[in-house]
Structure formats: structure tokens, C-alpha cells
Homo-oligomer: A and B are copies of this chain.
Amino acid sequence: MDFGLSEEQVLLVDGARRYVEQTSDYEARRKAVDSGEAYGAARWQQFAELGWLALALPERHGGLGGSAVDYALLVEALGAGLMLEPLVPVAAAAMALVTAGGAGDLPSAVAEGSARPVLAHGEPGSGGLLTFVESRAERSAAGWRLTGAKSLVLGGAAATHYLVSARTSGDKADDAGISLFLVPADHAALGRRDVRLTDDSVGAHLAFTGLDLPDAALLGPESGGLPALREGMAWLQLGLHAEALGAMDKALWTTRDYVRTRRQFGTELSTFQAVQHGLADMAMETELSRSMLLRLLSVFDGDSAERDRTLAAAKAQFGRSGFFVGAQAVQLHGGIGMADEYLIGMIFKRLLLLRNLHGGPDMALGQLTQD
């Protein structure tokens, strides 16, 4: 194995880092949040121009054909800026669309920045079990009729389309019987509630009460949507972990810098062994998480049992490490760690949200015990 970056990767990462430094100060983020907007439309256009929205898409869909590694490097760099834009949810939905096929030019529109589909898969009771789908789609005169609810749709308030999983056959946790449907965000009968999340981003909660869709809304084979769904959720998790890594790294070095300058009891905080060891533990958790992400990337190409296992392990690792690093950063900062205006609290809230997503680390551990 070779863990060194290629020249192109160095350029990609440097570009993203520079963008974050120049545009993503935390005061700007706070203003964006306070303005109530779901994402920055101008920033999204910049993402498109920088090629970031096209990065991992295949060339036949207007993409750059970059690897999962390229994608993870980009997202990690952006993660340090705690972006509010749904780059990761949209990229994940685009990869699911590519796998499912049949949505026309939608992936190309993603690459250009004009479409923002996101996955609407999790349900209030699914708790991260991939095959747990209670929403149902039934044949109707017009095509399909959708009933059910989807919770915590990441990027849901900024989306142009929802890629909705619904059961066309089988029982609620069966592997077979899940189909994917494309629902435009402006569908008149869609019960949509935009919800501010605890990390300041805006998601959505969707309700379908007999929502009518045309035949063409079904993507991929009827009752055979699981592979595309699995692909999309794998990209979603990969991206969220890479974002978390960028945030953890930022928390680590910000805390390091803080304890070097902050004085207590007549000396710098950094001279206390308890503080040093607390930071050493943060460093170890961060680098172990980075190692787990690399492990995931080494098996990421292609749907496989080993990828699923490593996805579960990464979920458990990031859940534990992310929470630890965030909480420890708050603790070592003291009062300022508790203030809304300061980035450390923002990072902690983001890492806590990510930890508990998709059933949390316990659900992931449960998946690892099944072998």
C-alpha cells in the first residue's frame, strides 16, 4: 500500500483547504445560520465551478471520474470548515442514481450544480437498519402511490429531489421488496417540514399520505432497489466520516493552540500533565479514525461483505472517537467551549449528531456481531 498523495490529490486538498480558510470563518457560518437559509446558493455554485460536485461522478454522467479516495480527501478538507451545504448527501444520492439508472440527466445536473437530490431513506423507527422500510408504494392508475414517513433527511431543506425508498413487496425488514422513487421537492402533495438540526444545518421530515407519482418515478428494478440504496448509503457514510475527520482534526489542533496560550495558576495550561495527556488521547483517537477511514477506502470499490463490515466498524470508530474528541475539546477549553460564538462548540455539536445518526455506534456493533 502507498499512503502518499498523488500530485493531483495534493492540488485538490490544497484548493479545498484554501477555500475553507478564505470563506469559512465561523462568524460567517453563524451569520448564515442566523439568516435561516438552508444552504449557501452562491457557495454551491462555487462548488460546482471548482469541480467538487462532479468529482466522484463517472465521466459518462458529466463527472470527473475521481476515486473514493479523492472524494474523501476533498470532504475531509471541507469538513474542517463545518460546511452547511449538503455536498455529502447530494453526492451520495448521485452515486445511488448512477447505480440505479433511469433518472435521465439528473447526475449531470448534479455535476453542474443545478440539481440537488438527496436520499430520503431513514424512518422514525428504522434505527439505522438498512433494510427496515415501512413506507409503501402501491400501483395506481397514474403509476405509483406512496404512503409513509422519512425522518432526518440530511440536506433535505436544500434538495431539489428526494430519492425515496419504499416497499413494493415483502415485510418491513426484508432484503427484497425495496424500490427507489424519485420525488421532486416541489411535489404539491408532499408533506415536508424543514427542520433545524442540532448542528445548525437544516434537514427535512417528510410525510407521504397517498402521494401520486408517474411510472417513470421508479428508478431501477421494482423491488430490487437495495443495491443502489446500499451504494448511496455507503457513499453517505464515507462522506460523513471524512467530514467528521476534518472536524476532529480541527478540534485537536485548535485545542492544542488554545492550551499553549491560555494561562492558569501562573503558567500555560499546556504544561499540566493532565492537559497533555488529554490532548494525547485526542490525537490517538483522531489518528485511529483516520486509519479506519483509510481501511474503509481500501475496500470501498464494489459492493462486498468486507465493505459492509468495514462500514460498520467505521461507524463504531467514528462514533466513539468523534464524541470523545469533541467533548474533550470542550472540556479543555473550559467556558469558551460552551459559547455559541466559538467553533469548538459547533464542532462538538456536529460530531454528536453524526455519532447518533443511523442508529448510533451500538447498531454498528450489532452488525459486526453477525457473522
Contact = CB atoms under 8 A, between A and B. Distances in A.
Interface of A: 272-274, 277
A35 to B, nearest CB: 45
5 contacts: A272-B273, A273-B273, A273-B274, A274-B274, A274-B277
Contacts of A274: 273-274, 277
Contacts of A273: 272-274
Stoichiometry, as copies per complex, reads 2
Nearest to A277: B274
Q: Chain A at the B interface: mostly helix, strand, loop or mixed?
A: helix
A277 B273 CA distance: 10
Contacts of A277: 274
Nearest to A274: B273
A274 B274 CA distance: 6
A194 to B, nearest CB: 38
| Residue from the set A272, A273, A277 with the largest chain B CB neighbour count within 10 Å | A273
A29 to B, nearest CB: 36
A273 B272 CA distance: 7
A369 to B, nearest CB: 14
A274 B283 CA distance: 17
A271 to B, nearest CB: 10
A273 B273 CA distance: 6
A273 B277 CA distance: 10
Nearest to A275: B273
A280 to B, nearest CB: 10
Closest A-B pairs by Cβ, 5 of them: A273-B273, A273-B274, A274-B277, A272-B273, A274-B274
A284 to B, nearest CB: 15
A64 to B, nearest CB: 49
A5 to B, nearest CB: 36
A274 B281 CA distance: 13
Nearest to A272: B273
A272 B271 CA distance: 12
